[in-house]
Structure 1
Amino acid sequence: MHSQNQSLLAALYACVNACEHCASACLQEDDVKMMARCIQLDRDCADICDLTARFVARGSEHAQHLLRECAEICKACGDECAQHTHMQHCQECADACRRCEEACRAGLQG
């Protein structure tokens, strides 16, 4: 497998893990309702990253479409998580989302 794909896959899977952890941690917060948007975006981001990784790994001709969408959702999730400065899990998720967004954009051809 091409080294660019390996680093992209690593970023995608790291983002899946960070988003899943963040969503679970948000569900343990005292004010879960305040974290609803974060949890929703975490779940969306984890799912799109997982799906995108599978398409990239198999060399699908449709991976490019997913990379665009994945970058967009990673940005939205990262922006949301970054607002929760007092929560370490959100900050770690925001960092993973930003790295994944960059990797997805770098993986786009043309």
Structure 2
Amino acid sequence: MTNQATMEQCIQECYNVAQLATRCAEHCLEAQNVQDMKACIRLCHDSAAITTACAEMMIRGSQFAPRACGVCAEVCDACAEQCERMGDDDIMRQCAEACRRCADLCRQMAA
């Protein structure tokens, strides 16, 4: 069972990922090798969407929030892995780190 502080932290981290993943996707669109960035762009968009939805479900106390958190953790892990594969880029590193933190918190919420 999770506590209110964990949920609040998870909500904040979800919104943080939504912002950073959106920024990362836009950054990827500006890359010279944008064709090689398609998977990263898609995962960043998926992460931004699921983290926003997940945060809103937690805020509303939705009965489906724990299941949404489980999916959110999976998407954030995949996004982090993809961003880490893209090399040493500060924006992608920030996105990956935020996704990892969010995934850990979402797993706690899903438990």
Tell me if TM exceeds 0.5: yes
Secondary structure at the aligned position of 1:86 is classed as coil
Q: 1:37 corresponds to which residue?
A: 39
CA deviation vs aligned residue, 1:16-59 (integer Å, no higher than 9, x gap): 01100100100111111010000000000100000000000000
Tell whether 2:7 aligns with 1:11: no
CA distance in 1, matches of 2:74, 2:7: 19
Please, which moves more after superposition, 1-10 or 22-31? 1-10
CA distance in 2, matches of 1:102, 1:6: 14
Letter paired with 2:81: D
Where does the alignment leave 5 or more consecutive residues of structure 2 unmatched?
Answer: none
Q: 1:86 corresponds to which residue?
A: 88
CA distance in 1, matches of 2:23, 2:4: 29
Kindly, what percent of the aligned residue pairs are identical?
31
Letter paired with 1:41: L
CA distance in 2, matches of 1:30, 1:102: 33
CA distance in 1, matches of 2:69, 2:104: 10
Map of 1:1-110 to 2, 5 A cutoff? 2-109=4-111
What is the CA-CA distance between 1:85 and the residue it aligns to? 2.0
Q: TM-score, normalised by structure 1?
A: 0.94
Where does the alignment leave 5 or more consecutive residues of structure 1 unmatched?
Answer: none
**Is the 1:84–1:91 contact (alpha carbons within 8 Å) kept by the matching residues of 2?**
no
Moved over 2 A (4+): none
Aligned length: 109
